[in-house]
Amino acid sequence: MASPKQASYDAIIIGTGVIGSGVALELARRGLKTLSVDKLPTAGYGSTSSSSAVVRFTYSTAAGVAMSYEGMKYWRDWENHIGDIGDQPLIDYVESPMLLNKEPGGHWEKVVPHLDALGIPYENLSFEETEAEFPILDLRMFGPPVTIDDMDAPFWGEPTAKHDGVILTRESGYISDPQLSALNLATACEVAGGEFLYNTEVTAINRADGRVSGVELDGETTVEAPIVVNVGGPHARILCQMAGVFESMGRCSRALRREVYIVPAPEGVDYDTEGVSMGDSDTGVYFRPERGNNILIGNAEPECDELEWVEDPDNYNEQLSDDGFQLHAMRLARRVRNAPIPGKKSGLVSLYDASPDWLPIYDRTDLDGFYVAMGSSGNQFKNAAVAGHCMAELITAIEAGHDHDNDPLVVTGKYTGFPMDMGTFTRNRVVPEDTHMNVFG
Ligand SMILES: Cc1cc2nc3c(=O)[nH]c(=O)nc-3n(C[C@H](O)[C@H](O)[C@H](O)COP(=O)(O)OP(=O)(O)OC[C@H]3O[C@@H](n4cnc5c(N)ncnc54)[C@H](O)[C@@H]3O)c2cc1C
């Protein structure tokens, strides 16, 4: 086992995914001596490496929209944000228009007031305007989506209605190499003086005098710190149990198995340049261009699809399913004209750390000094850098005596000046039992 260079640090960050590395960088740049620990061999090897890495601003909360637009500015300014990290290549931010169809009562109705309030550019296109600009899309209404067992359902038949059009944000996009984005952040953190320990597991979270006092590594070494941040992704729940704060974490997040699929673009179409991204509850999928003239498809949690919760994030079925691949390729082919349904499956399997309302938990806990950036619910990759900023501001304020539980901190975006109300992401928020949220957040 590698050993930490010191016996104590100002802050220990558990997890070096894209969010964990983002948090570590911001703390190190504020002058804290940080130690980041991960049981995997390098930064971004956990769920981050499987991310679809879509960057969009279409969230249902004001704070979600503000954070994601601010987050996009970091990706665009990546070279400056990361600074000099020697020979390591930097990620590319690939711009790709993002469409959200205007289903009656759909997600877009929650999103648009926030875009308006913040003055974020978007276009409200009619059916005709959408078809003229994006002829590859069939904008008729197919939903509600069904599974492959229900082939007689109207979803697979000839539709009679059409969508009113779409909400279009042109500044949206994606990151083609999500693991590299975590590595860029981690390396920038090292430049700022942060230390990283890989292949090392946190096996206990220690407390003394009523607050966190550090961690135990691989059951052997104790390292002290007055601040410990849980950014364990799908393991965050276990880390909360380890810290003894699970009961006070409200309805904690859980690991959720997810499959993502890749199909080739329709024949004769250059989807890298002509393609679009879409969050499409009507067909039950989201999709975006994937390099090499492919289309990446993810699940949008339609009611007909069962959620596969995972008890042990180190032990789950990592085999891509034939049925899932077929179904999602078929759903995509409803929306994207001539999208192929290949016989050979392609894609990946990974885990979300999904909270009950599909919003992240960026917060303190009931154990002083123990913080969480968890419950990222399949939609926080895009916010990694800004979440780092927000967590660092939150930690700084709370350690200086701010009562965040009763007077939620509002962080100002350094690029946009947008207010980002951290109260939206507290562990104490009330989540209705019947919430119908999904990955769109
Ligand atoms: C399939 C998929 C698609 C997604 N698509 C999108 C998208 O399109 N857009 C978007 O914005 N977001 C998306 N997301 C979400 C986004 O990728 C995640 O929110 C983000 O990558 C999580 O980063 P993280 O740093 O919190 O966690 P992770 O990357 O999971 O990192 C957690 C790390 O903690 C380490 N760890 C855990 N426990 C311990 C321990 N005890 N000791 C030491 N180390 C430990 C793990 O080894 C791991 O490396 C997607 C996620 C998935 C899985």
CATH number for position 151: 3.30.9.10
50 CA to middle of ligand 1, Å?
A: 8
Atom nearest to 353 CA in ligand 1: 19
132 CA to middle of ligand 1, Å?
A: 38
Tell me: do 133 and 262 sit in the same domain: yes
Ligand 1 contacts CB of residue 114 (under 6 A): no
Confirm whether 434 is domain-assigned: no
Return the pLDDT at 434. 62
Q: Helix, strand or coil for residue 223?
A: strand
Tell me: do 244 and 390 sit in the same domain: yes
Indicate the angle between helix axes 18-29 and 178-191, nearest 10 degrees. Answer: 20
Query: What share of residues in the chain are helix, strand, coil (percent, to 5)?
Result: 30, 25, 45
> Pick from 298, 326, 352: which residue ends a domain?
352
394 CA to middle of ligand 1, Å?
A: 21
Tell me: do 262 and 387 sit in the same domain: no
pLDDT, tens digit only, all 441 positions of the chain: 679 999 999 999 999 999 999 999 999 999 999 999 999 999 999 999 999 999 999 999 999 999 999 999 999 999 999 999 999 999 999 999 999 999 888 889 999 999 999 999 999 999 999 999 999 999 999 999 999 999 999 999 999 899 999 999 999 999 989 999 999 999 999 999 999 999 999 999 999 999 999 999 999 999 999 999 999 999 999 999 999 999 888 778 999 999 999 999 999 999 998 889 999 999 999 999 999 999 999 999 999 999 999 999 999 999 999 999 999 999 999 999 999 999 999 999 999 999 989 999 999 999 999 999 999 999 999 999 999 999 999 999 999 999 999 999 999 999 999 999 999 999 998 876 666 688 888
Q: Do the Cβ atoms of 54 and 288 come closer than 8 Å?
A: yes
Is this model's pTM higher than 0.95 or not? yes
368 CA to middle of ligand 1, Å?
A: 24
Domain residues for the domain of 348 are: 95-173+257-352
Ligand 1 contacts CB of residue 36 (under 6 A): no
For residue 219, what is the domain's CATH number?
3.50.50.60
CA–CA distances in Å: residue 247 to residues 5, 202, 237, 292, 365 = 34, 20, 11, 46, 11
Tell me: do 361 and 340 sit in the same domain: no
384 CA to middle of ligand 1, Å?
A: 10
Q: Which of 37, 38, 39, 51 to mutate to test the pocket of ligand 1 (most atoms within 8 A of CB)?
A: 51
> Pick from 329, 352, 375: which residue ends a domain?
352
Work out how many domains the chain is built from and give that number. 2
Tell me: do 309 and 369 sit in the same domain: no
pLDDT tens-digit profile of 162-200?
A: 999 999 999 999 998 999 999 999 999 999 999 999 999
CA end-to-end span of the chain, whole Å? 39
Tell me: do 261 and 249 sit in the same domain: no
Atom nearest to 373 CA in ligand 1: 26
Give me the percent of the chain exceeding a pLDDT of 90. 91
φ/ψ of residue 224, rounded to 5: -100, 145
Place of tokens 């800004």: 386
CA 95, CA 228: separation in Å to the nearest integer?
36
- Rg of the chain (C-alpha set): 22
Q: Do the Cβ atoms of 109 and 144 come closer than 8 Å?
A: no
